[in-house]
């Protein structure tokens, strides 16, 4: 087995069609979600994908799936030296590293999903073939209500903003030679427009007990290895409006000499992004890890 492994937890995107065999921790999380009005097991069993993709249900479902897969990998002796998460995935990464409990994380994620599902009046778009610097300059020239939300690759940037300004920025990016893809999301996530939701989430985060990471933790807000408890908490408080620094996150894994990074969640979005960012790390899915790729 390769010795230097990273666990990467995905954000809102691909929703699982089923959960892996659940351990004791996962069962507790499913019960907590059920009590909060998020019947994950029933929705998966009934195949109600139209409800599962809604932000309110998608976020806790992806979180529980990620924690279940983290538990499954660890039970097989596949242990990470570092963890990181993309947007929503940061909560699973913090739980995996022991900074916050999975139960506390789920409670925040449930509220986060509900708050984000009620945000309207804008959206997001992926910009391909243009650098971060070019896209950021276009956003600055377009107006204050559009910004870079995710730096997912050297030439894969996501922008977020109110409808009118977002469309102007999309047109400007297209004119600059970029390929523009409107994303099917319910609002302008990772933008200052989510400041009211961030303010509502803050008391929940402040009430959680934060502990020193047992496993190294790289924040996708700073893109750096973070070990100070108060710094981690401060970053999480701003996460819902902050840009996702995924390229910097992966570069931090390279500096840590990670050999293999496992996507611990549904789909292979982070696996594909990682392969485009660097050739120095082997990126694999959860299923590939179980099949003996590590």
Q: Which residues are catalytic?
A: 87, 190
Spatial CA neighbour of 114 closest among 192, 48, 36: 36
Question: Residue 204 contacts by C-beta under 8 Å, 6 or more apart in sequence?
Answer: 107, 108, 111
132-164 per-residue burial string, b: 16 or more CB within 10 A, e: under 16: bebbbebbeebeebbbbbbbbbebbbbbbbbee
What the block records as the tokens of 97 is: 């590293």
* Residue 94 CB coordination number (10 Å): 28
Q: Do residues 93 and 82 lie in contact, with contact meaning Cβ atoms separated by under 8 Å?
A: no
> Are 240 and 198 within 8 A, CB to CB?
yes
The C-alpha angle with vertex 24 and arms to 22 and 30, in degrees rounded to 5, equals: 65
Please say whether the beta carbons of 62 and 265 come within 8 A: yes
CA 2 to each of CA 66, 74, 78, 174, 276: distance values in angstroms, whole numbers, following the listed order: 22, 14, 9, 43, 21
Four-residue CA torsion sign, 258, 294, 90, 213: negative
- Per-residue CA distances from 157 to 9, 183, 232 (Å): 19, 12, 25
Give helix then strand counts, H and E, for the chain.
13, 10
């Amino acid at each position: 087995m390769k010795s230097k492994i990273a666990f990467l937890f995905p954000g809102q995107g691909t929703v699982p069609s089923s959960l892996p065999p659940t351990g004791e921790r996962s069962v507790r999380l499913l019960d907590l979600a059920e009590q909060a009005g998020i019947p994950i097991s029933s929705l998966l069993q009934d195949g109600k994908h139209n409800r599962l993709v809604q932000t309110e249900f998608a976020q806790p479902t992806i979180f529980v799936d990620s924690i279940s897969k983290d538990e499954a990998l660890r039970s097989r002796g596949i242990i990470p030296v570092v963890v990181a998460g993309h947007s929503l995935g940061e909560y699973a990464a913090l739980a995996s590293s022991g900074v916050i409990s999975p139960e506390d994380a789920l409670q925040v994620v449930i509220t986060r999903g509900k708050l984000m599902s009620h945000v309207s009046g804008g959206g997001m778009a992926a910009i391909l073939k243009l650098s971060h610097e070019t896209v950021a300059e276009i956003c600055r020239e377009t107006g204050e209500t559009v910004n870079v939300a995710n730096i997912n690759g050297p030439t894969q940037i996501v922008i977020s903003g109110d409808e009118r300004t977002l469309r102007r920025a999309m047109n400007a990016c297209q004119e600059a030679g970029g390929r523009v893809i409107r994303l099917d999301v319910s609002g302008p996530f990772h933008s200052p427009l989510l400041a009211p939701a961030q303010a509502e989430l803050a008391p929940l985060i402040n009430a959680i007990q934060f502990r020193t990471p047992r496993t190294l933790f790289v924040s996708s807000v700073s893109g750096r290895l973070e070990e100070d408890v108060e710094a981690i908490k401060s970053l999480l408080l701003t996460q819902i409006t902050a840009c996702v620094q995924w390229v910097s996150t992966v570069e931090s894994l390279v500096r840590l000499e990670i050999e293999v990074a496992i996507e611990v969640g549904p789909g292979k979005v982070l696996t594909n992004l990682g392969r485009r960012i660097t050739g120095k790390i082997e990126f694999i899915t959860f299923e590939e890890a179980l099949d003996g790729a590590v």
